[in-house]
Structure 1
């Protein structure tokens, strides 16, 4: 299956302040704050929802088409993604803006002061999915993940016009979207992805009942952290799947993105949902055990063992002929 992943591509700049912000803030001078924090470390991580999902698909042996916008500072990141199986030929490079950045400082109490620079992400709407389809010989599924709202809306509409099956993953952008925009993004989706909080938020913003939403799409998949994953359709009651237990929890960043990659890989191999979701759960756990959303490594033996331990032999047997991982 040829999968195009549209959405954000970014780098995260994460610093740690060895004190407490509260000790530096003076309550009677908050109207005129001018502070500088000397931090202990700085981690620069590759990120962005679309890039994270494309990376996960790549390490599982697929070659996803990444469609997002970046700056001229993308060269090193591009090499990394290509080395992990991602086709980056459809990434737009801005001539005037840099790649999106998330800049965050965390103190001893886990309080955070952060800024997000959208940068080149503002140009993603200029990517034409019809040209991507022509260059690749066709697209079997488009994942519309968090991005600039105008890009999400345009790419969803293009999928309808071009009759391309699509999956909707509005997640972090839900709070920025209007009722009509949310309805536009999810109507007709083959898959709708949310976490538990986003599920409730989507119901509130859309103004639709759960039944009305399910009537308008193929299936709704909700990740619930340690409580696993559920899937529901208009015709069937929700089915729950347990999470794959991690050996240790290092960093939750990119956990949901890895799940989406594993699930989409499973469905791309024409595997039933009852095995695609376990693959997503296993890949998500590997991300949870690693620092950064694209630093985890996988092996087919490890993934299949985890799936067998949690979901049993028959599910594992459905996946075993297809799971081939890149180093």
Structure 2
């Protein structure tokens, strides 16, 4: 049975300006700013939390069903996802708006000028999950990832109402959501994902203690960057998993989405919480060693060798029974 992944689908357009933004500002004219920067580099990357997670699940041999909203400019991106094992048959196509887009220019001092166009993502709230589940037969898990806020609430409520097991991954949306919305997104989740900052923000805004959160979810997976991952369940000892050492860290963006993909795949394979978290840690490290959230690969032999080095031969043998390739 497939995993349904709901969340944002976007493209990143990253440019480099060979100078300093601050040198272009004219004192006394800040109320009339009109600037144009000649950039010397443009890189485009596929992104969006939902698509990133689906990509990772596809690499691991699952056939994830991606649910989100895009524009008429999605054709090339869709072909890429399809080639990597992602079912895009339930992606909503907007007739009016383009796919969400992040545009960022960085200068020599790493100052940035950026814009985010939500575009078609605003239509994600129109998507109903029942036809998606009916099309694919059933769903082991529905991941409610970062997306249009109204869509996130609707998907969560539908999961609870129809009895679909779901994972809550509010991530960056925690920054602006109020306590009531966060409680709505979290309550009843099989899995809750967060990083350390998001975990603290969740507790602050909901007014819950960590124990009260654990009473409302199956397990809580908290990423801690170089300190690895903490997994907690009510009434049980926490599980701590190390971060797989990086050989050439390049870009942390997308590491969290990759970890989620590995963890979800491991659980779908029937692995223990600890083993699934180890798998997530290994996939995350592969993701942060390249630029672009969907540019990493998982060559079977080298991935398993690295996994064995971090977690032991027995753990690697267990993962090898499920890893494609």
Quote the offset at 1:99 in angstroms: 0.2
Shift of the alpha carbon at 1:149?
A: 0.4
Match of 2:60 in 1: 60
How far apart, CA to CA, are the structure 2 residues paired with 1:192 and 1:20? 41
Q: Does the residue aligned with 1:28 lie in a helix, a strand or coil?
A: coil
Query: How many residue pairs are counted as aligned between the two chains?
Result: 325
Residue of structure 2 in register with 1:287 after alignment: 287
Specify the alignment match of 1:198 in structure 2. 198
| CA–CA distance in structure 2, aligned partners of residues 77 and 122 of structure 1 | 19
Q: Is residue 9–residue 121 contact of structure 2 (8 Å, CA) maintained in 1?
A: yes
Unaligned residue ranges in structure 1 (runs of 5+): none
Q: Deviations over 1:127-152 (max 9, x none)?
A: 11000011111111000000000000
Deviations for 1:253-310, whole angstroms, at most 9, x for unmatched residues? 2111111111111000011111111111111111111110001111122221111111
Q: CA deviation at 1:27?
A: 5.0
Structure 2: 5+ residue stretches without partners: none
Q: What's the counterpart of residue 270 of structure 1?
A: 270
Alpha carbons 1:141, 1:166 under 8 Å: kept = yes
Structure 2: distance between partners of 1:63 and 1:192: 22
Equivalent residue, structure 1, for 2:189:
189
* 1:297 equivalent in structure 2: 297
Give the Cα separation in 2 of the matches to 1:209 and 1:23.
48
Q: Secondary structure at the match of 1:89?
A: coil
Aligned pairs (5 A) from 1:155-304: 155-304=155-304
Moved more, 220-229 or 2-11: 220-229
In the TM superposition, residue 159 of structure 1 has moved relative to its aligned partner by 0.2
* 4+ runs deviating over 4 angstroms: none
Corresponding residue number in structure 2 for 1:145: 145
Match of 1:130 in 2: 130
CA distance in 1, matches of 2:49, 2:197: 18
* Displacement after TM superposition at 1:108 (Å): 1.1
Q: TM-score, normalised by structure 1?
A: 0.97
User: Over aligned residues, Cα RMSD in angstroms?
Assistant: 1.1
State the shift of 1:232 in Å.
0.8
State the Cα deviation string for residues 81-129 of structure 1 (Å, max 9, x = none). 0000000000000000000000001111111110000000000011110
CA offsets 1:188-227 (integer angstroms, 9 cap, x no match) = 0011001111111111111211111111101110111111
